[in-house]
């Protein structure tokens, strides 16, 4: 078993981003909107802000009250869409219950949509011409590629069908010519599907769902789970039992999580460079 070390790969990525920013004529700017006071979201948003500071990006956190109206939230997005110093906009999910999430995500200018959640960016990914790609799925691809893990012709199983991780993950693996299966909460034969998989990406949010008996010897196991139990972070994979059977496995924490953040920075840099190219002043 070898560890797919997201923490160190993310640090490498950040170092090269920092280098690129220093040579750029503008400072990439990221705005993060957060509505309400979800405890986990606060931690994630804080990490995004710190990451921006580490690589020299401008960052702006927009904290809004939990009872904010749809109109007021849309207005905030519009203001950020218009700002030339903001190249990336991220609306932290989940949003309060009164908010129409789809409408908010569709209000973000596609060229600033560093989460890749706008239907235009989802459509580009669907068509096989990705522009801005959801950060977690992108981070997993970077991890796999960092070790030249073969995907072509491999059986890949994505557990989870969310727009945030599962669906984009499946499309990216498909683009690398894997044979992709998507399993979800209504899949009756999960263990059987897992046993056939060369690559498993677990992204359901169920602690220790994937156990050793479900994993083929030599499989690559990617754990996207971020489950909190008794104050401890725990993935969707039972790391202790699965690790000895896997060829590669991501730990939680220190696997996919740090890669999500560095890919957000990567997307923000991409959006900033694109805006420069469009204004014809890239220097």
176 touches ligand GUN (CB under 6 A): no
Cβ proximity to ligand GUN, 90 vs 132, nearer residue: 90
59 touches ligand GUN (CB under 6 A): no
Parallel/antiparallel/unpaired status of strands 227-229 and 232-234: antiparallel
Binding mask 128-167 for ligand GUN (x = CB under 6 A): -------xx---------------------------x---
Active site residue 48: yes
Closest approach, Cβ 135 to ligand GUN, in A, equals 6
Region of 119 (left: φ > 0; alpha: ψ -120 to 50; beta: rest) is: alpha
H or E stretch covering 50:
helix 39-55
101 touches ligand GUN (CB under 6 A): no
Peptide bond into 94 cis (omega under 30): yes
34 touches ligand GUN (CB under 6 A): no
Closest approach, Cβ 227 to ligand GUN, in A, equals 13
Parallel/antiparallel/unpaired status of strands 199-202 and 220-223: parallel
Nearest-CB residue for ligand GUN? 93
Judge whether 236 and 207 are in contact, CB under 8 Å: yes
* 236: Cα within 13 Å, side-chain hemisphere: 20
4 touches ligand GUN (CB under 6 A): no
**CA distances (Å), origin 74, targets 88, 100, 106, 115, 128:** 16, 10, 10, 17, 30
Closest approach, Cβ 264 to ligand GUN, in A, equals 8
Binding mask 60-99 for ligand GUN (x = CB under 6 A): ------------------------------xxxx------
Name the active-site residue from 76, 113, 115, 167: 115
Interface with ligand GUN (CB under 6 A), residue from 111, 113, 115, 236:
115
Cβ proximity to ligand GUN, 93 vs 120, nearer residue: 93
Active site residue 92: yes
The residues, ordered by sequence, that sit 6+ positions from 196 with a Cβ below 8 Å of its Cβ are 155, 157, 216
H or E stretch covering 8:
helix 6-22
Residues near ligand GUN (CB under 6 A), total: 8
Q: What's the rounded Cα separation, in Å, for the pair 223 and 250? A: 6
Closest approach, Cβ 61 to ligand GUN, in A, equals 13
Rg (CA), the chain: 19
Residues acting as catalytic residues: 48, 92, 115
Chain residues that interact with ligand GUN, rule: CB under 6 A: 90-93, 115, 135-136, 164
């Amino acid at each position: 078993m070898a560890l797919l070390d997201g923490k160190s790969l993310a640090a490498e990525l950040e170092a090269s981003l920092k280098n690129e920013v220093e040579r750029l004529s503008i400072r990439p700017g990221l705005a993060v909107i957060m509505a309400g006071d979800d405890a986990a979201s606060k931690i994630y948003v804080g990490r995004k802000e710190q990451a921006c500071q580490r690589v020299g990006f401008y960052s702006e956190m927009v904290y809004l009250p939990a009872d904010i109206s749809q109109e007021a939230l849309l207005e905030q997005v519009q203001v950020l869409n218009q700002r030339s110093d903001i190249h990336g906009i991220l609306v932290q999910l989940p949003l309060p219950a009164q908010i129409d999430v789809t409408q908010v995500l569709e209000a973000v200018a596609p060229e600033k949509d560093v989460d890749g959640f706008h239907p235009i960016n989802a459509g580009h990914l669907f068509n096989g011409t990705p522009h801005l790609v959801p950060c977690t799925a992108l981070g997993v691809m970077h991890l796999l590629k960092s070790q030249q893990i073969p995907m072509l012709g491999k059986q890949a199983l994505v557990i989870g069908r969310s727009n945030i991780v599962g669906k984009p993950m499946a499309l990216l693996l498909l683009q690398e010519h894997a044979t992709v299966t998507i399993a979800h909460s209504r899949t009756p034969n999960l263990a059987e599907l897992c046993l056939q998989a060369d690559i498993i990406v677990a992204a359901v949010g169920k602690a220790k769902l994937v156990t050793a008996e479900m994993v083929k010897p030599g499989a690559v196991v990617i754990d996207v789970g971020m489950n909190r139990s008794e104050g401890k972070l725990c993935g969707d994979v039972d790391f202790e039992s699965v690790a000895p059977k896997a060829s590669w496995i991501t730990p939680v924490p220190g696997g996919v999580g740090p890669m999500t953040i560095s890919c957000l920075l990567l997307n923000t840099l991409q959006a900033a460079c694109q805006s420069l190219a469009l204004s014809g002043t890239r220097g």
